[in-house]
């Protein structure tokens, strides 16, 4: 049996699949995987190393550490999937990767509340408005926000089980939102596992450009998963998961110590402020 005959036989083995989409995806997977093996003339030792790598990724994965998401991220597959499913049309806010640290059932806060929950970092006031493409305010939209502390760690990476640096809130009748968070800082994706070893072997940095995560949902509109990135940061062009989009870069303006805050809160030391208006697509 020739190499191509083998590929054709495996592709044909899915002809009887009951689900059309399953059949389409599996046939394409086989064709591309076989083409990869032929193109690279993959050795048996390399194939074994690949199996060991994937096994190690499974072994290190937990409820709060998803190594396969990290692998998808650093290979650009996550961002390509976003590009295929959420192409920028110039009307709605652009999407980017979810990342491995989203948690369901985050604490709720009131408008103007603080998501830090004891996480360390420079305070940052973030505000904006959620609308539809025609500018109509989207009232009652649920906004999930989460971020790392100034040590580059998310709450779920600590062992104490405490939630910090994350919360959800709802827009008011005019579609407006506001909250206190932390000024985003650069941090490495978890690099103590197989994905970290892959990056090291490739001579690539594990650093992510500083960002704040958003997930916005409201019945009648398409869910939005996005970030805002810090303007002027040198890491914008070298984000380890290729998640930066120009339309999502925002200034985080630093205010001197003692500068009055928008809500009258007393802040010791400097703080920053950022504005991010969000446009949702209709469902």
The DSSP result for 156-217, as a single string, is GGSSS----SEEEEE--TTSEEEEEEE----EEPP-SSHHHHHHHHHT---EEPPEEEEEEE
Q: Which residues make beta-bridge pairs with 166? A: 146
What are the pLDDT digits (tens) for 252-271?
Answer: 999 999 999 999 999 999 99
Residue 96 · residue 104 · CB < 8 Å: no
Q: Which two tokens stand for residue 9?
A: 């036989």
Structural domain tally of the chain?
2
pLDDT above 80 for 88: no
Residue 71 lies in a domain: no
For residues 54 and 85, membership in a common domain is answered with no
For residues 198 and 160, membership in a common domain is answered with yes
Q: Domain holding 128: CATH number?
A: 2.60.130.10
Give the Cα separation of 244 and 247 in Å (integer): 9
pLDDT reported for residue 38: 97
- pLDDT tier for residue 90 given thresholds of 50, 70 and 90: confident
Give the Cα separation of 177 and 170 in Å (integer): 7
> How, if at all, do strands 253-255 and 249-250 pair?
unpaired
The mean per-residue pLDDT over the stretch 98-127 comes to 95
126: helix, coil or strand? strand
pLDDT above 90 for 100: no
Q: Which domain holds residue 254?
A: 77-279
Which secondary-structure segment (H or E) carries 9? helix 3-12
The mean per-residue pLDDT over the stretch 122-134 comes to 97
Residue 69 lies in a domain: no
Residue 199 lies in a domain: yes
- pLDDT tier for residue 161 given thresholds of 50, 70 and 90: confident
For residues 98 and 53, membership in a common domain is answered with no
pLDDT reported for residue 87: 78
* Percent residues over pLDDT 70 in the chain: 100
For residues 43 and 97, membership in a common domain is answered with no
pLDDT reported for residue 3: 97
pLDDT reported for residue 111: 98
What are the pLDDT digits (tens) for 190-213?
Answer: 999 999 999 999 999 999 999 999
- pLDDT tier for residue 64 given thresholds of 50, 70 and 90: confident
Q: How many CB atoms lie within 10 A of CB 102?
A: 17
Residue 137 · residue 129 · CB < 8 Å: yes
- pLDDT tier for residue 228 given thresholds of 50, 70 and 90: very high
**Environment class of residue 238 by beta-carbon count within 10 Å: exposed (0-12), middle (13-18) or buried (19+)?**
middle
pLDDT above 80 for 83: yes
* CA neighbor of 226 nearest in space, from 87, 95, 78, 79: 95
3: helix, coil or strand? helix
Residue 243 · residue 212 · CB < 8 Å: no
For residues 137 and 272, membership in a common domain is answered with yes
26 phi and psi angles, rounded to 5 deg = -70, -40
pLDDT reported for residue 225: 97
pLDDT reported for residue 182: 98
The mean per-residue pLDDT over the stretch 64-86 comes to 93
Average pLDDT, the chain: 96
Residue 109 lies in a domain: yes
Angle CA 108–111–116, to nearest 5: 55
Q: Global pTM?
A: 0.90
pLDDT reported for residue 1: 83
């Amino acid at each position: 049996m020739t190499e191509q005959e083998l590929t054709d036989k495996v592709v044909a083995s899915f002809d009887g699949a009951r689900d059309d989409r399953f059949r389409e995806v599996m046939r394409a997977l086989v064709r591309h995987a076989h083409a990869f093996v032929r193109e690279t003339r993959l050795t048996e030792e390399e194939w074994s190393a690949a199996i060991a790598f994937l096994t190690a990724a499974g072994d290190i994965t937990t409820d709060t550490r998803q190594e396969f998401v990290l692998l998808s991220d650093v290979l650009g597959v996550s961002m390509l999937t976003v590009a295929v499913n959420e192409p920028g049309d110039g009307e709605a806010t652009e999407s980017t990767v979810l990342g491995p640290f989203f948690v369901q059932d985050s604490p709720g806060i009131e408008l103007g509340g603080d998501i830090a929950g004891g996480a360390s970092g420079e305070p940052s006031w973030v505000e904006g408005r959620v609308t539809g493409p025609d500018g109509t305010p989207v009232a009652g939209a649920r906004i999930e926000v989460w971020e790392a502390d100034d040590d580059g760690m998310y709450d779920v990476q600590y062992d104490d089980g405490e939630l910090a640096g994350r919360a959800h809130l709802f827009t008011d009748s005019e579609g407006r939102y506001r909250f206190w968070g932390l000024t985003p800082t650069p941090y490495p994706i978890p690099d103590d596992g197989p994905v970290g070893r892959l990056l090291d072997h490739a001579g690539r940095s594990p650093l992510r450009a500083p960002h704040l995560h958003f997930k916005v949902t409201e019945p009648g509109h398409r869910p939005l998963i996005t970030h805002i990135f810090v303007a002027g940061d040198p890491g914008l062009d070298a984000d380890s998961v290729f998640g930066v989009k120009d339309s999502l870069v925002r200034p985080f303006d630093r205010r001197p110590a003692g500068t009055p805050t928008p809500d009258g809160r007393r802040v010791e030391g400097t703080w920053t402020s950022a504005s991010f208006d969000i446009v949702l697509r209709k469902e």
